[in-house]
Chains A and B, each alone.
Chain A
Amino acid sequence: MEDEIILCRCEDVTWGEIREHLQNGWTDAEEIKRLTRAGMGRCQGMTCRNLIAKEIAGFQGKKEGRFPPFTFRPPAVPVSLGLLGESEDD
């Protein structure tokens, strides 16, 4: 994969950035997420988490699935604080 390819579109994280951290000895998707913000944007990794896990596995010469993607956290879609506060009586 070319370095310029953007893997996380929300936070503009390229494969090059991720590759550099892997070359520096970081090995896990959770670490890569926290070093680069990949998967921490508006979509919370919906688009990129499996792609990143696959590329990390590839880099390490491991089978796909050997490196699980990072944890999903709620909410499933962004929700405004105003809307959250109004849902009190539901």
Chain B
Amino acid sequence: MTETADVAIIGGGISGCAIAYSLARQGCKNVVVFEKGYLTSGTTGRCAGGIRQQFGTETSCVLARDSLRSFAGLGEELDFDLEFHQGGYLLLAYTEKEHLQFQKNVTLQRRLGIDSRCLSPADAGKIVPGMNVEGVLGATFCPSDGQANPFKTTFAYAAAARRLGVRIIPFTEVREIRKGKGKIQAVITNRGRWATPVVVNAAGPYSGIVGRMAGVELPVYSKRQQFMATEPVDDLCKLFVIAFSRQVSFIQTPHGSILMGGGDPQEPPSFNLNTSWQYPVEFARKVVAMMPMLKGVRIVRQWAGLYNITPDAQPIYGPHPEVKGFFMAIGFSGHGFMLGPITGKLTAEWILNGKPSLPVAGLDVGRFERGETIPEPSVI
């Protein structure tokens, strides 16, 4: 049996659900989303939900700024409590190179209307009382940066999209993408065939595999990050603290638990979602040195997630030049959740109007071959 859709989206994470909702809002309602597990089971549900604007390129800053503005009214729009709060992001520089980069970043961010500022190590310490700032050379703080609950945000998009007529089908895996004369024709799932002229690759860590189904190699790879959650504790730091050079990040959620984790520069590309026993040991040493008051706080949960990484740590958006009807929303390099609302809006505009309303045409997949990458320096 063959069903039909105007657009088939592969991936039931924040990107896929936000794109589905934006398409339906813009009048395109015959949309189907395929998710091979439960919604958020890929990478969205494994992230900490941080939303920051403190980046080092104009492209990243503008995307993040506009996405954050969307988050501010999103709960009301979708009629769902997203646990969105703006406690800010504090970025700590431990190397001279980072320190200089942060100062350049703040100049750029302020020009773009982002309320970030440079702080001395002592002033950084005042923002998180009790934090050990030994070794910190400087910091930047942006009070309007924030966090939302990634599960609830995705579920909210999915529920709102369903109300508009979108079919969101979890536990359904896309196995093949069929083409004819260089155009998308259909997707084959484990539950049947769907004829469609448009496929959106929103498969997060598995976007490269989806690319190969359509017969193209995409310049992305996936890599494990590990995270942990503590038991709920009294207010300690309801803002996101990141030390890029130490691979440390942590934030206390509105619920009271502290989420903490990061990556490992030695981590090889893989689809490994297993947790390691070494990681909590090494991370605990680093985080307790920075936050001595966390010594007695207990870890209740550890998990892993996968970044989908591009050579310049910027997402890939837009149509693929070799396969008509094949659109990308991939390679977020750790920022897919925070960019969710803007990814939805821009991708829907690109599909329906042929061009997005922000100048992001340079984030197409062709930039790597053209040698026009936009390397983002401030990533964890």
A: residues with CB less than 8 A from B are 24-26, 28, 30-31, 34-35, 37, 40-42, 44, 73-75, 78-82, 84-85, 87-88
Contact = CB atoms under 8 A, between A and B. Distances in A.
B231 A42 contact: yes
Say what secondary structure dominates the interface of chain B. Answer: mixed
A28 B45 CA distance: 14
17 contacts: A25-B159, A30-B37, A31-B38, A34-B40, A34-B45, A34-B152, A35-B152, A44-B301, A75-B280, A80-B297, A81-B284, A81-B294, A81-B296, A81-B298, A81-B299, A82-B288, A85-B284
Contacts of B45: 34
B324 to A, nearest CB: 35
Interface in B246-286: 255, 275, 277, 280-281, 284-285
Nearest to A31: B38
A82 B300 contact: no
Contact of B297 (A34, A41, A73, A81): A81
Interface residues of B, number: 35
Contact of B151 (A24, A35, A41, A82): A35
B101 interface: no
Nearest to B282: A88
Contact of B285 (A30, A31, A42, A88): A88
Contacts of B280: 75, 79, 84
A37 B281 contact: no
B189 interface: no
Nearest to A74: B302
A73 to B, nearest CB: 5
Interface in B42-90: 45
